[in-house]
Structure formats: C-alpha cells, structure tokens
Amino acid sequence: MADGPIFLNERGLSLEVRVQPVVLLTIIDHFTRRNENQKRVIGTLLGSVHDGIVEVSNCFALPHMDAAADVHLDLAHHKLMLRLHKRIAPREQVVGWYTTGDEITSHSVTVHTQFYSDLTASPILLTVDTAMRGGKLGVQAFTGAPLGTSDRPGGVVFAPVKCEVKMFEADRVGINLLQRTRAAPNRATPLLTELDTLEASIIKLQSHLATAVAHVEKVLAGKVPSDAELGRMLSDAASSVPKFEAAQFEKLFNSNLQDLLMVMYLSSLTRTQLSIADRLNSAVF
Amino acid sequence: MSRRANKKEEQYQQQLAAAAAAAAAAAATPNKITHVQLDGLVVLKIIKHCRESLPDLVNGQLLGLVQDSRLEVTNSFATPASRSNDGEADQEADQYQTDMLRLLRAINVDYLLVGFYQSTYLGSFLNTTLIETMFDYQREIEEAVVLIYDPLRTTQGSISLKAYRLTQAFMDLFKDQGFSADSPKLNGLTHETILEEVPIQIYNTHLANALLLEWESTHADDMFERADMPTTTLLEKNLDLLIDAIDDLNAEQNKFSAYQRTLSRYQQSLSMQLQKRRQENEARIAAGEQPVSEADILSANRAPVPPSHLDTLLYTNQIGQYCKQVNQFASAAFSKLYVAERLQK
C-alpha cells in the first residue's frame, strides 16, 4: 500500500495501530447504550503517535445524528469532554475516531474530513463490527488519505492498516478474569483468590507438559518426523529447570519454610494482641 | 466532595437529586446489598487509570445503579489529581464532576454515583480521609461502596480488587462524633467492624463476551509468572508497613496515656484547690463571714481535651489488614514451596 504517493502525507504513513483493550470495551459499551433507532455510534480516539505506530489508549463517545446527506455532531460535547480528559491524562492526544459497523459510508468521509482532519494531521479510523457480519467481532483500522490537490480537496481514501490489541501486564490479568464470564450461566463470575489462579496455572503447565511428552514419544516411535528446531526448543525448556543438589535444596527449602512460619507466627501474635486490645477497650469504655 | 449547584446546572441537579431520592427510597426497604456487580469495562478502566498514574495513588468515581440486593457498577471516571487544597481547586473538582456526569448522561450512561475507587499500595488505604469520604457517600446513597485496587499485587498474576463499606455501627458512631467525646461510646465496635467487605462479581455483556472470545484465540493466556517462586521483597515491604503502623499505634497510645496523666494531675490540683477553698469557707462561716463561691476555681482550670479514639481504631484496623495480607502471602508461598519440592523430586 506504500507504493503510491497518494497515501503519504507530511507526517508520514501510519503503519500500525495498537489498541488497548479498554478502548474496545468502551466502544462496545457505548454501542450497547445507544439510543433507540440509532444504527451506529461514533466517538473520538485518544492516544499517541510514535514512529508511525499509533497507540490508542483511550476514547470517548460523541453523540451524533445521521441525516440524509449530512452528519450532525455535538461539537460542544466533544470540546468539553476533550478538556476533561486532558485533565486526567494531559499526554493523550486526539489520534482519530471510531465507528461501529463494518462499512465506510459517505457519512464517514464527511466526519473524517470535516471534523477530525482539523484536530489532528492524519486521523485514523477504527471500525468495530458490532453486527458481526463476518461471523466475528471484527476490528479494523484505516488511515485516510485526502484526494485531490491542496486547493481543491476532493474526498478521502481509506487504506486498511495493521491493527492489533496491546495489553499490559495488569490488563492481561484483568482480561483473564473477564474471560471467565463467558462460561458462566448468568455471565457473572466471582473474583479469584491467589490460590485459584495458581492452581489454574499449574493445571495449564501440566497440560503443556503432557502435550510435549506425547509429542516426544511420537517422535521416538517414529510416527512423526523429528524437527530439529522443535527439539532444541524442548531441550532448552527442559534445561531451564534449575538443578540442585538434594541436600542443598533441602536446606533452601527448610530455611524458606522457617522464615514463612516465623512471619506467620508473628502476624498471628499481633492479631491476638489486637483482639485483646479491643476487648480491653470495650471493657474500659 | 459536595455537589455545589450552579445556576445552569440547577435543573440537572434536580434530576440527580430525584435519582438519589429514588435510590434512597429503595434503600428504605430493608434490602441490604449482598454483592457488587462490576462491569468488565470498569475493571479495565480502573486498571488503566491506576497503572498510568503510578507511582501516584489515584481515585475516581463509580457510576451504576442499585438493583434489589446487588449494586451494579457499570461505568467509572477518573478524578483529576488536585494540585492544591484551596477552595478554588475544590470548586474546579466539583465542576469537573458535574460536567462529566452531564456528558456521560448524554450517552445514556448510568449517572448515579455509587461510590469511588482508590488505588493503594499493599493495602495501606485506611485513613481518616477515606473514612470521611466514604461516610459522605454512604449518607447520600446507603449502598455506596469503595473499591480498593492494588496495582502492585495485580502484576503478581492475580487481580487485587476489593469492595468495602462502612458498617452501620460505625456510621452511627461517626455521625454522633462518638470518638472525640470524653468517653467513646464504642458499643462493642472493634477494629474488625469498621469496614465490611462486599463480595464482587464480574459481569460482561454478550457483545463484550464476543470480543473476549476473539482475544482468546490470539492472546494465549499463559500466566506462568504467578507461579514464580515466592519473592521475599513483597513480604518484606509488607512487614515494613506493618512495623510503621504499629509505631503509629504506639504513638497514639502514648498520646492517650499522656492525656490520662494530664487528666489525673488536673483532677488532683482541682480537688486540692477546692478542698482549700472549702476549708477557708468553713473558717469564714465560723467567723460569721460570707463564703466565697467555688465557680472561679472551676473556670480557671480547664479540663484537658481528650484525644480522638478514631485514629487508634483505624491504626488497629490497618494492622489487622497487614496481618491478613502477610498470612495470605505466606500461605501462597507455602503452596508454591511444596510445588517446587515435588518438582525437584
């Protein structure tokens, strides 16, 4: 797509869009809460642009009305909301906008060229297919390049760009928890304790090990051709388990255990003291 | 966080008041909330806000509705960090909140404030400010909760999010200012009954579930870091905090015993003066003179101001909180140790 000068603008081409999960969930929430008879929702994407990578970290809804030939945007709403957002995260800039549905209509062109192009040099467009026409909830990103010469602008070409979801460590933990609501009958799940998550991880690890062992056995039996690359990776994994002398491990294990027992004992002692203090207080007063 | 009405916002404020009144009416029935239902969106929003503002601890507002015995939290927004504590900043914050609520209302978001969230560092969240804010919330909407999120512990692989409310007993006491009075009427209130924890449930819409389904295929959810060998750093920090809290409690108790010493000295000197005056008066009566009143002695000697009992209670609760956390860390570490032991065999 970079072979035509038409896609280039003075700030260069946006090559990749990275979206944080919270943005997509906000868009979906906005869509769920749309007015009756409203077919789609639109809103502003906030984030940063760095080396051709657009990182979308936040967004907010923009009320609008689709008329026959034109789109009415609530500009006052946009202005105020942008100001409020700036107070929380001053570094987040307008990077583009989103809309639901899987197609780009003439309305989209109007919004893109007449509103968002004024806010930022090369706005991106994110579409979320809430009708799930493709059998899935497709998320696509586009960059819009203006057509025509500078003194006679005429329309805009939307070129798809690579779009992926970017998760931070804490996001992944959150998403992992959210995943559990899918299987639950009422789409609600309680929080997990640390031990629950540890158990899940161990079970997962076991299943991975079982897969690896099964594969190795198949290779040994000659049923599957051996793969040198895979073999090397497996041996790397196997050797990553630290090897201890039995006595040394025993010593480490015991000292750790004793530390923990000690700490637990002290904390229990503190709690007992607190209970006594409470009783005394209620007795005195 | 009082809501000051501005002329332009008056009508809107009335609607808000109506909503609050409706909630209060719902609260009048003996329904008590049994759990908090969090929208997946709120969880992610809180995570994002708290992560981005680290190392600062931040807070924000929760929006939602009360449904029978459950409090649904369906959206949230961040509170800007206040730059100063003067009235101007206060007004600005109020204006921010009013504006935000109005804008969110325009896109059909639930606009009832049902509490707030607060990021914390290893559970060190309990202080007078939090209690006061929470008191204000719960007075407006009885079901209000505070969500405590710990960004540091979440990176260990399992989310640390808790919902708390002030108990009714504590609310009553706080309303009467029962802590600063001469004799705190604790009514059997102990450090464990300041806050009650409310169970949390996570809820997602069908569309959100569809989105999550997409992610599962693309983002393998291998979270093996939570099986990491127990690190002593967190435990150590926790113990540090625990020691600090105990020091604070100790200082508080020293204050109290100092008060008691002052009090007994005061009572002693008072009774001595009174006794002296009485003897003089008796002598005067015997000599046929008019006795002098005792009022001037009483007014000249001021009783010392008793220290507030609230801080002691809060520190105690905080210590209890740390102890609980230490135990949690330790039990998780135990199981990890035993897993490691099996692995070595």
Backbone angles phi, psi at B34, to 5 degrees: -100, -25
- The residue of chain A nearest to residue B210, with distances taken between CA atoms, is A137
Angle (nearest 5°) at CA B148 between B145 and B150: 170
pLDDT tens across A185-226, in order? 666 667 666 667 777 777 877 887 888 888 888 888 877 777
Contacts of residue A186, defined as CB under 8 A and 6 or more positions apart, other chains included, come to none
ipTM score of complex: 0.75
CA–CA gap between residue B103 and residue B180 (Å, rounded) = 42
Contacts of residue A60, defined as CB under 8 A and 6 or more positions apart, other chains included, come to A26, A43, A44, A46, A81, A82, A85
Is residue A191 less than 8 Å (CB to CB) from chain B? yes
Q: Which residues of A touch B106 (CB under 8 A)?
A: 63, 74, 77
Separation in Å, CA B324 to CA A1, A34, B277: 58, 44, 57
Residue of B199, B226, B341 lying closest to A253 (CB–CB): B341
Q: Say what the pLDDT of residue B186 is.
A: 57
Question: Domains in chain B: how many in total?
Answer: 2
Strands A153-165 and A139-148: antiparallel
Question: At residue B2, does pLDDT exceed 60?
Answer: no
Q: Does the beta-carbon distance from A267 to B327 stay under 8 Å? A: yes
Query: Domain of B270?
Result: 240-344
Q: Say what the pLDDT of residue B30 is.
A: 43
Question: At residue B251, does pLDDT exceed 50?
Answer: yes
Residue B233 lies in a domain: no
Taking residues A68-92, what's their average pLDDT?
79
pLDDT tens across A11-33, in order? 455 578 888 888 888 888 888 88
pLDDT tens across B308-340, in order? 777 777 788 788 878 888 887 787 777 777 777
State which of B204, B227, B250 marks the end of a domain. Answer: B227
CA–CA gap between residue B85 and residue A18 (Å, rounded) = 38
Are B119 and B258 within one domain? Answer: no
Angle (nearest 5°) at CA B167 between B161 and B170: 125
Q: Which two tokens stand for residue B263?
A: 């009090």
Q: Say what the pLDDT of residue A68 is.
A: 65
Contact present, B245 and B319 (Cβ < 8 Å)? yes
Query: pTM for the whole thing?
Result: 0.74
Q: Say what the pLDDT of residue B5 is.
A: 41
More confident residue, A160 or B71: B71
Q: Give me the torsion for CA of B333, B336, B341, B342, rounded to 10°.
A: 150
Residue B195 lies in a domain: yes
Q: Does the beta-carbon distance from B190 to A32 stay under 8 Å? A: no
- Quick one: pLDDT band at residue B219, thresholds 50, 70, 90? very low
- SS3 at position B133: helix
Q: Does the beta-carbon distance from B337 to A168 stay under 8 Å? A: no
Are B255 and B202 within one domain? Answer: no
Q: Say what the pLDDT of residue B66 is.
A: 83
Taking residues B64-68, what's their average pLDDT?
82
Residue of A137, A173, A190 lying closest to B158 (CB–CB): A173
Are B222 and B253 within one domain? Answer: no
More confident residue, B265 or B159: B265
Q: Say what the pLDDT of residue B265 is.
A: 87
Q: Say what the pLDDT of residue B86 is.
A: 59
Are B88 and B190 within one domain? Answer: yes
Q: How long is chain A?
A: 285
Q: Does the beta-carbon distance from B211 to A25 stay under 8 Å? A: yes
Is residue B298 less than 8 Å (CB to CB) from chain A? no
The mean of the pLDDT values for chain B is 75
Calculate the CA A90 to chain-centre distance: 21
Q: How far is B295 from chain A (nearest CA, A)?
A: 29
Are B221 and B256 within one domain? Answer: no
- SS3 at position A61: strand
- Quick one: pLDDT band at residue B82, thresholds 50, 70, 90? low
Q: Does the beta-carbon distance from A195 to B211 stay under 8 Å? A: no
More confident residue, B164 or B342: B164
Q: Which two tokens stand for residue B74?
A: 């369906």
Question: At residue A106, does pLDDT exceed 50?
Answer: yes
Are B187 and B44 within one domain? Answer: yes
CA–CA gap between residue B335 and residue B345 (Å, rounded) = 16
Q: Does the beta-carbon distance from A57 to B48 stay under 8 Å? A: yes
Residues 249-288 of B with CB under 8 A from A: none
State which of B227, B253, B271 marks the end of a domain. Answer: B227
- Site of tokens 């005067």: B284
Q: Say what the pLDDT of residue A153 is.
A: 56
Cis peptide before B55 (omega within 30 of 0): yes
Q: Does the beta-carbon distance from B47 to A167 stay under 8 Å? A: no
Of B64, B65, B63, B59, which is closest to residue B46 (Cα–Cα)?
B59
Contact present, B196 and B138 (Cβ < 8 Å)? no
Q: Which residues of A touch B207 (CB under 8 A)?
A: 28, 31-32, 130, 137
Are B101 and B180 within one domain? Answer: yes
Of B81, B72, B79, B68, which is closest to residue B29 (Cα–Cα)?
B68
Contacts of residue B251, defined as CB under 8 A and 6 or more positions apart, other chains included, come to none
Q: Which residues of B touch A48 (CB under 8 A)?
A: none
Q: Say what the pLDDT of residue B258 is.
A: 86
Is residue B207 less than 8 Å (CB to CB) from chain A? yes
Is residue A33 less than 8 Å (CB to CB) from chain B? yes
Are B37 and B112 within one domain? Answer: yes
Measured N-to-C along each axis, helices B310-344 and A246-284 cross at an angle, to the nearest 10 degrees, of 160
Q: Does the beta-carbon distance from B75 to A29 stay under 8 Å? A: yes
Residue B92 lies in a domain: yes
- Quick one: pLDDT band at residue B10, thresholds 50, 70, 90? low
CA–CA gap between residue A93 and residue A59 (Å, rounded) = 10
Residues 76-105 of A with CB under 8 A from B: 77, 80-81, 84, 87-89
* Helix count and strand count (H, E) for chain A: 8, 10
More confident residue, A283 or B30: A283
DSSP structural state of residue B192: G
Q: Which two tokens stand for residue B8?
A: 């332009």
Q: How would DSSP label each residue in A184-237?
A: STTSEEEPPPHHHHHHHHHHHHHHHHHHHHHHHHHHHTTSS---HHHHHHHHHH
pLDDT tens across B187-218, in order? 566 667 778 888 888 888 777 777 777 776 54
Are B143 and B251 within one domain? Answer: no
Burial B228-237 (b: 16+ CB within 10 A, else e): eebeeebbee
Q: Please name every residue paired with A164 in a beta bridge, in sequence order, or none if there are none.
A: A18
Calculate the CA B282 to chain-centre distance: 58
Please, which contacts does B130-134 make with residues 24 or more away whose CB atoms are closer than 8 Å? B131/B166, B131/B174, B131/B194, B131/B310, B131/B314, B133/B1, B134/B164, B134/B165, B134/B166
| CATH value at residue B89 | 3.40.140.10
The H-or-E segment that residue A21 falls in is: helix A21-32
Are B147 and B250 within one domain? Answer: no
Residue B175 lies in a domain: yes
Q: How far is A173 from chain B (nearest CA, A)?
A: 6
* A90 CB-side CA count, 13 A: 3
Taking the domain A4-169, which CATH number applies?
3.40.140.10
Q: Does the beta-carbon distance from A195 to B52 stay under 8 Å? A: no
Q: Does the beta-carbon distance from A29 to B41 stay under 8 Å? A: yes
CA–CA gap between residue A46 and residue A60 (Å, rounded) = 8
Q: How far is A229 from chain B (nearest CA, A)?
A: 21
The mean of the pLDDT values for chain A is 75
Separation in Å, CA A19 to CA A44, A167, A229: 13, 8, 33
More confident residue, B161 or B1: B161
Q: How far is B300 from chain A (nearest CA, A)?
A: 28
- The residue of chain A nearest to residue B58, with distances taken between CA atoms, is A88
Question: At residue B21, does pLDDT exceed 60?
Answer: no
Q: Say what the pLDDT of residue A149 is.
A: 58
Q: Say what the pLDDT of residue A9 is.
A: 44
Is residue B204 less than 8 Å (CB to CB) from chain A? yes
Q: Give me the torsion for CA of B323, B327, B330, B334, rounded to 10°.
A: 170
Separation in Å, CA B35 to CA A185, A266, B20, B164, B344: 17, 33, 20, 10, 43
- Site of tokens 């693309």: B218
DSSP structural state of residue B291: P
- Quick one: pLDDT band at residue A151, thresholds 50, 70, 90? low
Are B329 and B194 within one domain? Answer: no
Q: Say what the pLDDT of residue B154 is.
A: 75
Taking residues A259-271, what's their average pLDDT?
84
Q: Say what the pLDDT of residue B20 is.
A: 57
Q: Say what the pLDDT of residue B187 is.
A: 57
CA–CA gap between residue B78 and residue B72 (Å, rounded) = 18
Residue B333 lies in a domain: yes
Are B252 and B339 within one domain? Answer: yes
CA–CA gap between residue A214 and residue A219 (Å, rounded) = 9
Taking residues A104-110, what's their average pLDDT?
73
* A75 CB-side CA count, 13 A: 8
State which of B202, B227, B252 marks the end of a domain. Answer: B227
- Quick one: pLDDT band at residue A284, thresholds 50, 70, 90? low
Residues of chain A with CATH 3.40.140.10: 4-169
**How large a percentage of chain B has pLDDT more than 90?**
0
Rg (Cα) of chain B, in Å, rounded? 27
